[in-house]
Structure 1
């Protein structure tokens, strides 16, 4: 593939840092460095580190790795962790083409850099594009994610199909998607859907930015294969995250994809935050190395089972409290349910941000997820961190608010 057409002018203008370029050689045997301005680790007050797991086990961080984590290191991340994650991608996704991998400060860090590296013209998530000079074109979805026929229609009829009405814009070059446990819809794309979407993207030479933070929170025994696993062209940039499976505060994510694109993302990192933080990386690596890949898969299966039980409890409460007041699709993964409010309610913003708040119940108004900030009757609710008792009480309060809004005749 010709990746140059996907790279923004700003990204093309970045050049490799001469200082960062010597980083790989700093740990080379017999190398004497007069180049890097590394602070002397002998002046650091930290001597060592250990982690206590909930199993009662204590992991002592390898002394050499610990000392390394206190200093500047490689832009793509700690080599030990990078190699472990590469092996994970090969085991889980078996990418059909060669790939590169970089670690970031959470997947959002990498998604933002990917959006800046490419000439993004098309995404369902406006968070990354509010400050970029691009227009958004949203594609219709259902309970199984992107509808391939709608995607094909938009691309085939461009620029007449351009939601902005502009006729001088080129066809979109990048598709952003959350295929598993979608945020906010909770929808999960089937393999057949992914294959159909991928075929269309291949036909029109569109990159796929696969944001799959909820991939390991699938509730079925067999996980649905990723876009990365069917990527024969090298057109997928896949973002994974440890936030949902190890710790959100670790702020560790990783991006997998074609080397020419990851090089641009790495150059962005070089001129911003230099590298992912050392201590979280070494903590994660020590745990993952202790578990091995089989232990990791056992852990994520347990996490998925936990959220599956939460989902079941929440759906039971929804059936008891919200039937006739809202419609929803039961999610097969993730943490969210996308509620469509009934009773003539057309705009959920005031209902959620004013009236529900007065009743001490929190939700997210659907407008927060609309590419063009259009009014919507949808709201996003999450079951991830709520007891069954509080689920029921929260939905009781929400039901009362919906009833009052519908009865007032002021729903707009």
Structure 2
């Protein structure tokens, strides 16, 4: 593929830092470094690091790697962790295209860099409608128009997606008749945030084929991939990729710790290089200590142990989902509609009773009853009114699920009564 058409002029203008380009040589014992301005580790107060796991196991960080991680290191991340993640991608996704891997300060760091890399002023960017509010908030700062792809209870609708592209620019909701056809699709295909929807393998294949036909890059933001509740995970876009048109973002936040701030991006080498250039010019590298902590644990587990762990995490959230659905059935039937999620942490709930805008109900009336939800407008690409709200079951015990939904039901009844008067 010719990736130059997908890379913005702003991104192309970034050149490698002459100092950061030398980082791979800094830790070589056969080289005497008079180059990069590394502070002397002798001045650091940290001698070692030991971590105790919940099962009682104690991990002692490798002394040499620990000292290395206290200093500046490679832009793309700690090499042993890169290698471990590269092998994970081969095991899990069995890609048929060449790819590279880079580590970032959480997947949000990487997906925003990936989006920025593909946006020239005046471009249109395709997203699901509804879509992840973190991505929408970033896109609001970019010189682009955001275009929502219609969805139903199974995710993006391939026929609507193709119609949007085939009829561009007449189908452009922003009414710009000279705007080029979009060249990137941003999607959260598994346990979507906020929809909770996991797009089926069949639909993913249809969406990929349409992207192939119209030469669209896919930014696959898959933070909930390992939180699928079925016995078999739905294959990723990355696993289906035959063109090298998928840039995939994964996250440790949902499976190890959100505070570690570790994500990784997988995709065509040319595009990973551009993301690394951005990191060179901004935050230099992801945290070395966080990477070492994750690497030591992953190395201890091995890839089989990692799969066992994510299986337990998935089971944990599946049980939470089941309890929450029971509470929804108890308090929200007749007041709302929802689809039971097959992955992730969210239920996308449509309020009934003639309610067309959930914003005031959530931000004022529900808060007064001391219950918190997210109004659906936060996830709408065009910011239009919606009766939907996003509810999360990840951190709530059963008693609080019942009480929160009982309070919310009262608010909905009051709102519906006012609407119908």
Match of 1:123 in 2: 126
State the SS of the aligned residue for 1:18.
Answer: coil
Match of 1:270 in 2: 280
Match of 1:149 in 2: 159
> 1: CA distance between counterparts of 2:154 and 2:25?
47
Gaps of 5+ in 1: none
C-alpha deviations, 1:218-243, integer Å up to 9, x for none?
00011011000010000000000000
> 1: CA distance between counterparts of 2:306 and 2:124?
37
State the SS of the aligned residue for 1:123.
Answer: strand
> 1: CA distance between counterparts of 2:314 and 2:126?
28
Matched, 1:111 2:111: yes
C-alpha deviations, 1:78-118, integer Å up to 9, x for none?
00100000000000001110000000000000011011111
Correspondences of 1:2-401 after superposition (within 5 Å): 2-119=2-119, 121-124=124-127, 125=131, 126-401=136-411
Out of 81-90 and 140-149, give the one that drifted further.
Answer: 140-149
C-alpha deviations, 1:240-274, integer Å up to 9, x for none?
00000000000000000001111110000001000
Q: Which runs of 4+ in 1 moved over 6 A?
A: none
Q: Is the CA contact 1:241–1:253 (under 8 Å) kept in the aligned structure 2?
A: yes
Q: Is the CA contact 2:93–2:238 (under 8 Å) kept in the aligned structure 1?
A: yes
> 1: CA distance between counterparts of 2:303 and 2:411?
47
State the SS of the aligned residue for 1:22.
Answer: helix
> 2: CA distance between counterparts of 1:293 and 1:144?
31
Q: Is the CA contact 1:143–1:188 (under 8 Å) kept in the aligned structure 2?
A: no
Gaps of 5+ in 2: none
> 1: CA distance between counterparts of 2:258 and 2:23?
28
Q: Is the CA contact 1:339–1:380 (under 8 Å) kept in the aligned structure 2?
A: yes
Q: Is the CA contact 2:228–2:343 (under 8 Å) kept in the aligned structure 1?
A: yes
State the SS of the aligned residue for 2:350.
Answer: strand
> 2: CA distance between counterparts of 1:288 and 1:113?
26
State the SS of the aligned residue for 1:121.
Answer: strand
State the SS of the aligned residue for 1:179.
Answer: coil
> 2: CA distance between counterparts of 1:140 and 1:127?
19
> 2: CA distance between counterparts of 1:255 and 1:38?
27
TM-score where L is the length of structure 2: 0.97
> 2: CA distance between counterparts of 1:63 and 1:143?
51
> 2: CA distance between counterparts of 1:381 and 1:100?
36
State the SS of the aligned residue for 1:38.
Answer: coil
TM-score where L is the length of structure 1: 0.99
Q: Is the CA contact 1:219–1:304 (under 8 Å) kept in the aligned structure 2?
A: yes
State the SS of the aligned residue for 2:301.
Answer: helix
Q: Is the CA contact 2:355–2:419 (under 8 Å) kept in the aligned structure 1?
A: no
Q: Is the CA contact 1:101–1:254 (under 8 Å) kept in the aligned structure 2?
A: yes
> 1: CA distance between counterparts of 2:364 and 2:395?
23
> 1: CA distance between counterparts of 2:388 and 2:91?
38
State the SS of the aligned residue for 2:239.
Answer: helix
> 1: CA distance between counterparts of 2:299 and 2:162?
44
> 1: CA distance between counterparts of 2:125 and 2:420?
35
> 2: CA distance between counterparts of 1:103 and 1:233?
23
Q: Is the CA contact 2:156–2:199 (under 8 Å) kept in the aligned structure 1?
A: yes
